[in-house]
């Protein structure tokens, strides 16, 4: 095909050369516009997942890594620019477009490299007149995470991300509400959105949504329903059936009331067995111990066990192979209320979880690195999976969305639900928003959107038709639409 010099073809791949040391850049020109220029340093599992999430939203993504084979994999899979080299190289950062970037995310495997990369990027961007660059560093070492705020101030970081700490936080929430498979938090913890599989023949089976609060004597809202692989935002006449996967929004105390009423076998978690004493296990055990939940950790590495004993005096540490049945019996697997598999191997985690399920070890949570495995596990009885890199990718999508808002109604929280088919977002309502001062009944809201909650004066309100949104309100929206960046996006054009 004959093309003019400099012509770019949609969907094609081009190799370019930078001015610094003849580095090669691969450019995949896909479809869609550019919203924010994002530079990601590190093309490992976390970096790839972040790039994948953001590329789907048509952002201008550049990925930097020293490993050419990693870049080749990323470049072949995603519509991104790939640059081989170090994220701490000043000239390379300039060639990658740091002067025009809105955000840089340093996600290599070394905390110190990530911090230096962000500091260098901020300095170079400022030299080019770019004083709005957001810098986010992946920081995993517990020594650093204990002093996150000081770290940010000292190095001028906009934020830090820690996949292991995020995973531990998510697992702790699930274990503390054992009926659910997922827990997402809004309004500084005041509102929780949980996923729940409705048991056939249970008390929720056959209930119409408009009757739920009266029948169960607690305040909650069903925001989304998945049935037969189809997701919908239901209205009051919708009838729940056994097997439905539903998203429920409510304060935690109301959720506890609901599940005590809906499930005869409901019981709180008092003791948790963790297999795997790595970073996630350590973070999780610390969280659980702080809330008074008993914890036993099985870890086969002797040195790691010694460190755990020192760091977690309230936990019981057993040094041994968690894949051995005699070790699990010694850890009293049949007597625990919760079980978390946190080894570094997905297959081991799945086998352990299935065994724990058969042993009736209470709520079972499985850590999975390869999210594609979860589709294969749908009919195994396992329902609570945590993927650390996905949690961080969601968190960073929130940061980028917040930079795009036009009306001042910025995104403060963002989660993807129902295998990514639904988004739940929390907006802070700006004074310029077209939603302000109009009753919800009068708002021309798009199909597939539900206003689930409003936080005002530190009180969670379940809205009705007479409710008005006021400036400063935190508004939680659940939607099947993708890519909302401000509150006005819920309105018909």
Consecutive 10-residue runs of the chain (493 residues): their mean pLDDT? 31 38 38 67 94 88 96 94 95 95 95 96 95 93 84 92 93 92 88 94 94 91 93 94 95 92 83 96 96 96 96 96 94 94 96 94 93 78 88 85 66 87 93 93 94 92 92 95 89 87
Residue 201 contacts residue 470 (beta carbons within 8 Å) = no
Query: What is the C-alpha to C-alpha distance for residues 204 and 198, in angstroms, rounded to an integer?
Result: 7
One fold for 13-161 and 271-386: yes
Residue 274 contacts residue 337 (beta carbons within 8 Å) = no
Query: What is the C-alpha to C-alpha distance for residues 408 and 471, in angstroms, rounded to an integer?
Result: 10
Query: What is the C-alpha to C-alpha distance for residues 218 and 252, in angstroms, rounded to an integer?
Result: 11
Residue 51 contacts residue 25 (beta carbons within 8 Å) = no
Query: What is the C-alpha to C-alpha distance for residues 113 and 260, in angstroms, rounded to an integer?
Result: 48
Q: Alpha-carbon Rg of the chain, whole angstroms? A: 24
Residues 391-490: name the CATH superfamily.
Regulator of K+ conductance, C-terminal domain (3.30.70.1450)
In the Cβ-directed half-sphere of 195, how many Cα atoms lie within 13 Å? 22
Residue 370: per-residue pLDDT:
87
Query: What is the C-alpha to C-alpha distance for residues 319 and 331, in angstroms, rounded to an integer?
Result: 10
Question: Domain coordinates of the chain in residue numbers?
Answer: 13-161, 183-262, 271-386, 391-490
- The structure's pTM equals 0.84
Tokens of 296: 């036993």
Residue 454: per-residue pLDDT:
95
Q: What is the 3-state secondary structure (H, E, C) of 408-451?
A: CCCEEEEEEEHHHCEEEEEEECCCCCCCECCECCCCCECCCEEE
CA distances from 34 to 6, 31, 52, 102, 428 (A): 19, 10, 15, 12, 24
Query: What is the C-alpha to C-alpha distance for residues 256 and 397, in angstroms, rounded to an integer?
Result: 30
114 CB neighbour count, 10 Å cutoff: 28
CA distances from 5 to 8, 9, 28, 30, 154 (A): 9, 12, 17, 19, 47
Query: What is the C-alpha to C-alpha distance for residues 110 and 131, in angstroms, rounded to an integer?
Result: 26
**Long-range Cβ contacts of 317-325 (<8 Å, 24+ apart):** 317/277, 322/275, 322/276, 322/298, 322/352, 323/348, 323/351, 323/352, 325/355
CATH number of 183-262: 3.30.70.1450
Residues 13-161: name the CATH superfamily.
NAD(P)-binding Rossmann-like Domain (3.40.50.720)
Residue 145: per-residue pLDDT:
78
Residue 341 contacts residue 366 (beta carbons within 8 Å) = yes
* H or E element in which residue 226 lies: strand 221-227
User: What is the fold of 271-386?
Assistant: Rossmann fold (3.40.50)
Distance spanning both ends of the chain, measured CA to CA: 41
Query: What is the C-alpha to C-alpha distance for residues 248 and 271, in angstroms, rounded to an integer?
Result: 26
Query: What is the C-alpha to C-alpha distance for residues 3 and 488, in angstroms, rounded to an integer?
Result: 42
């Amino acid at each position: 095909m004959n093309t003019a010099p400099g012509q770019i073809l949609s969907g094609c791949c081009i190799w370019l050369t930078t001015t610094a040391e003849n580095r090669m850049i691969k450019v995949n020109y896909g479809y869609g516009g550019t919203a924010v220029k994002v530079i990601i340093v590190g093309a490992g599992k976390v970096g790839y997942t972040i790039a994948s999430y953001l590329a789907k939203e048509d952002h201008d993504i550049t990925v930097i890594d020293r490993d050419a084979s990693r870049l080749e994999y990323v470049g072949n899979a995603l519509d991104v620019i790939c640059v081989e080299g170090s994220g701490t190289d000043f000239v390379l950062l300039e060639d990658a477009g740091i002067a025009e970037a809105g955000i840089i995310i340093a996600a290599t495997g070394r905390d110190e490299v990530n911090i230096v990369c962000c500091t260098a990027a901020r300095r170079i961007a400022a030299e080019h007149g770019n004083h709005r660059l957001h810098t986010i560093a992946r920081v995993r070492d517990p020594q650093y995470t204990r002093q996150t705020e000081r770290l940010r101030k000292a190095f001028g970081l906009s934020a830090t991300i820690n996949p292991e700490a995020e995973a531990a936080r998510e697992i702790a929430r699930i274990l503390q509400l054992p009926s659910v498979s997922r827990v997402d938090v809004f309004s500084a913890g005041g509102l929780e959105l949980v996923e729940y599989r409705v048991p056939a023949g249970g008390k929720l089976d056959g209930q119409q949504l408009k009757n739920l609060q009266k029948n169960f004597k607690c305040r909650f809202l069903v925001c989304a329903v998945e049935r037969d692989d189809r997701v919908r935002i239901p209205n009051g006449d919708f009838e729940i059936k056994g097997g439905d996967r539903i998203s429920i929004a409510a304060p935690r105390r109301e959720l506890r009331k609901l599940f005590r009423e809906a499930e005869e076998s409901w019981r709180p978690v008092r003791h948790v067995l963790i297999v795997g004493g790595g970073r996630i296990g350590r973070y999780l055990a610390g969280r659980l111990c702080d809330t008074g939940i008993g914890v036993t950790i099985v870890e086969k590495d002797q040195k790691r066990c010694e460190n755990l004993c020192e760091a977690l005096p309230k936990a019981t540490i057993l040094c041994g192979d968690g894949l051995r049945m005699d070790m699990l019996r010694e850890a009293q697997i049949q007597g625990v209320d919760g079980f978390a598999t946190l080894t570094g191997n997905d297959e081991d985690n799945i086998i352990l979880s299935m065994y724990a399920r058969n042993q009736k070890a209470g709520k079972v949570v499985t850590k999975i690195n390869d999210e594609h495995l979860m589709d294969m596990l749908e009919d195994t009885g396992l329902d609570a999976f945590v993927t650390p890199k996905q949690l961080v990718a969601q968190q960073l999508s929130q940061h980028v969305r917040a930079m795009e808002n036009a009306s001042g109604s910025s995104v403060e929280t963002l989660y993807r639900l129902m295998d990514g088919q639904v988004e739940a977002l929390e907006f802070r309502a700006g004074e310029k928003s077209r939603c302000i001062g109009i009753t919800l009944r009068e708002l021309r809201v798009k199909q597939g959107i539900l206003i689930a909650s409003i936080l005002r004066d530190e009180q969670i309100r379940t809205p009705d038709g007479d409710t008005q949104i006021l400036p400063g309100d935190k508004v939680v929206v659940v939607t099947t639409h993708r890519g909302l960046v401000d509150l006005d996006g819920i309105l018909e054009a």
